Structure 1
Amino acid sequence: MTRKSLPLTDELHAYLVAHGSAPDEVVRDLMAETVAALPAQAGMQVAPEQAGFLTFLTRLLGVRRAVEVGTFTGLSALAIARGMPADGRLTCFDVSEEYTGIARRYWDRAGVADRIELRIGPAGDTLRGLPRERHLDLAFIDADKTGYPVYWDELVPRMRPGGVIAVDNTLRGGRVIAPENADDRAIAAFNDAVLADVRVEPVMLPIADGLTLARVR
């Protein structure tokens, strides 16, 4: 027995993925193309166990309306869309036509492109185009770290009661304890702000680089 999460060796991580939601051919090909085409940026892609968890969470919540901030090559969006019913709608916000061009091909291949709307532009601006009422079931934030507070403030008022905001990279490789750069400091401050936000009930999970889930009251 242990009172804290186990550290994952490469072998244990492979075992974990194989015994959870193991990537299918579409996901394996998307991950491989991301590494081949964008080796310097490939670390921005969510981990395979995160993708499986996002699909599971989407189904568990019965998500019909979702938002993603930061799409990259589309794995997290693919995971969320797969967990939605055929008439579900996911709106993705990103600034890169290059990265999301890869995403679009794999959404088509997976048969979920009709559930996804992609909006290109700074999310701090484009999020404001969403309806103001509380209509979102799920939001996933995984973009520029200094922008997290802006995205949070735009999304919380738009979440339905009981909706969930998932936020990636909230452990920053462990550096939130002793921040080393502007992104680390931004996430450390963001984590404190989420903890103090009376509008939500947060929990932080040690999945990949840290995943915070916040249930909106």
Structure 2
Amino acid sequence: MAYKTSGLEKSIYEYLQSVSLREPEILAQLRQETAQHPRSRMQITPEQGQFMSLLVQLMGAKKTLDIGVFTGYSSLVVALALPPEGKVVACDLSEEYTAIARRYWQQAGVADKIELHIAPALDTLDKLIAQGEAGTFDFAFIDADKNNYDNYYERSLQLLRPGGLIAIDNVLQSGRVADPQEQDKITNSIRAFNQKLHQDPRITMSLVPIADGLTLALKRP
């Protein structure tokens, strides 16, 4: 994950934040604490979080998925954008990382909106489908292990209602997807995934060059 939107000069990036970013203090505190974490690059950027918050509000979303929680910034930014009856179903494997998330969700007063599942995300998603929740979610954010992106996408597509939106993070892989010399497993997996979504007739899509690349996939009726 990039600390900031890739490809922007430092002065432009700082200007963008100065005239655009309206980050609540609780999110800024979480971001600052996460910056000290050994895996801090897994944190989404604040401008991406704000963009996702805007999308959720535009949609009038009430029921959302967060696949890959880490320290909880994406879950928190979405929960803050949801109405009081809104819900985030959050998936992660780490009790350690999500302990930080839980603390901030509590401080922000949105812990009751977030249902955290500590288990392999595919197991959680398959369980939701088996329980009859297909077609009931408004929004999904995917930011977990890249080799499973296709699996997360397919499950999310089942769980979303028509007109629901999937946001998929890190689809540019710090530019590696555009470099033919880069042939590692993760980069090739994301290349194949990007090509699949580009041709997928089930969605309307756009790859937005914010942070490390964010694909938006709108489920067609």
Scaled by the length of structure 2, what TM-score is found? Answer: 0.91
Q: 1:27 is matched with which residue?
A: 27
Amino acid aligned to 1:125:
D
Q: CA deviation at 1:150?
A: 0.8
RMSD: 1.5
Amino acid aligned to 1:207:
I
Amino acid aligned to 2:135:
R
Percent of matched pairs sharing the same residue: 43
Aligned equivalents of 1:72, 1:158: Cα separation in 2:
22
Q: How many matched pairs?
A: 211
Q: 2:215 is matched with which residue?
A: 212
Q: CA deviation at 1:195?
A: 1.3
Q: 1:180 to 1:18 in 2, by over 3 A?
A: farther
Q: 1:9 is matched with which residue?
A: 9
Structure 2 unpaired stretches of 5+: none
Structure 1 unpaired stretches of 5+: none
- Contact 2:30/2:73 (8 A) holds in 1: yes
Q: Give runs of ≥4 in structure 1 deviating > 4 Å.
A: none
Aligned equivalents of 1:133, 1:74: Cα separation in 2:
25
Residue 165 (1) aligns with residue 166 (2): yes
Q: 2:194 is matched with which residue?
A: 191
Aligned equivalents of 1:72, 1:52: Cα separation in 2:
18
Comparing both chains, which one has the higher relative contact order based on Cα–Cα distances under 8 Å and sequence gaps of 6 or more?
2
Q: CA deviation at 1:83?
A: 1.0
Q: 1:97 is matched with which residue?
A: 95
Q: CA deviation at 1:6?
A: 9.4
Q: 1:28 to 1:197 in 2, by over 3 A?
A: same
Q: 1:10 to 1:22 in 2, by over 3 A?
A: farther
Aligned equivalents of 2:78, 2:6: Cα separation in 1:
27
- Contact 2:21/2:47 (8 A) holds in 1: yes
Aligned equivalents of 2:41, 2:6: Cα separation in 1:
22
Amino acid aligned to 2:18:
A
